Amino acid sequence: MATNLPDNPFEHLQKTYQIEFNRRVDRFFKDVQGNGDLSGPRPSLKLACRMTDNDNQAITDMRHKLFFDVIGYGRKNLAVVYGNKFDTAPPVAGHPQLFLHFSQDGAAQPTDEPLIEHEKSCRLMKFSCSADGKQPAITKADMTAIANEIKSLFLDAKKGITYTTGNKSASYTDPDNGFPKGNYLLVNAKTDATNIYSKMCNAIDVPYKGDSHIVVNDPDKASTTTATAGKTTILGKQRNNRRYRPVAILRFRYAYISLGNLINPIFLIDTTLRNQSLVEWL
């Protein structure tokens, strides 16, 4: 079956481009009657944007740039990105993730309240999880060295060190060294955040960049206890409302490294004796 083709492909392309381009200009300036004129800013812009049969290549290019680039039609319907486009952080996927687990002593746990537990993590940016990564794959010897550092930093007299959790969120940001944005630690004072973050940096052998890298958010809402949180009646039974970021002393319990979901986490040290760990602590 024969297909009709234009005698002059360039003229056909030029005419089609003009029609489609002007259609978008008319839709964008639908509040302006006709082809535009010099009666005001928007009619003048429409007049300057619309292509005509008499345009040469230079004028065509200028109309295109005015409409798509200067006015910004080329960015229409693009997703809005919040933040600084120059504020980029290295990807953390593929790097081992170190977790430190803290929990309340059982004797301090209030009656009918769950045990308070928190975890803090960072990425080991010097290593990859597997041999396919850009950095050297982490080895058992590497993890053992980190485990021994954690043992010396987070244990005192064969007990996990403590810090006080509360209603303040403290974030330490250093993406290049494994502390990306959005990860925070609940504390009652900035000094506790300084203590934990500096020890974590020492454990993974990266520089601690100082308190200037710690941002503390102090909310207007105070911590609540079982008594101040109050009760709610459900199905005829009174139940405790959830406490808001209660103040409590948390003790270091164990540390482990995640290498992804293909294998189980590797426990470096575990003071609960529930998991086999790389180093002994007793």
Tens-place pLDDT, residues 121-131 = 999 999 999 99
163, β-bridge pairs: 250
Q: How far is CA 248 from CA 193, 198, 228, 257, in A?
A: 14, 21, 15, 26
Question: How far, in Å, CA of 168 to CA of 180, rounded?
Answer: 19
Average pLDDT of the residues in 241-268: 92
Q: Residue 82's pLDDT band (boundaries 50, 70, 90)?
A: very low
Kindly state the average pLDDT of the residues 104-127: 89
d(C-alpha 143, C-alpha 265), whole Å: 12
- What is the arithmetic mean of pLDDT over 85-111? 81
In three-state form (DSSP H/G/I as H, E/B as E, the rest C), the secondary structure along 180-245 is CCCCEEEECCHHHHHHHHHHHHHHCCCCCCCHHHEEEECCCCCCCCHHHHCEEEECCEEEECCCCC
User: Per-residue pLDDT for 9 more than 80?
Assistant: yes
pLDDT band at 273 (very low <50, low <70, confident <90, very high): confident
Mean pLDDT, residues 23-32: 90
Query: Residues of the chain with pLDDT > 70: what percent?
Result: 93
Confidence at residue 90, expressed as pLDDT on a 0 to 100 scale: 65
Structure confidence by residue, pLDDT tens digits, 129-185: 999 888 999 999 999 999 999 999 999 999 999 999 999 999 999 999 999 887 889
User: Domain map of the chain by residue range?
Assistant: 9-75, 97-270
| 65 contacts 53 by C-beta, under 8 angstroms | no
Rounded mean pLDDT of 102-114?
A: 86
> pLDDT per residue over 30-81, tens digit each?
889 899 999 998 899 999 999 999 999 999 999 999 988 888 777 665 554 4
Task: Please state, in angstroms and rounded to a whole number, the distance separating the CA atoms of residues 110 and 228.
Answer: 13
Neighbouring C-beta atoms of residue 100, cutoff 10 Å: 24
Q: Among 179-183, 194-198, 243-247, whose mean pLDDT is lowest?
A: 179-183
Written as six digits, the tokens of 258 are 């995640």
Q: For all residues of the chain together, what is the average pLDDT?
A: 88
Residue 6 has pLDDT above 70, yes or no: yes
Out of 72-86, 223-237, 256-270, the most confident range is 256-270
Query: Lowest-pLDDT range, 86-100, 113-127, 182-196?
Result: 86-100
Does residue 204 surpass a pLDDT of 90? yes
Q: Is the pLDDT of residue 83 over 50?
A: no
Q: Are 89 and 180 in contact (CB under 8 A)?
A: yes
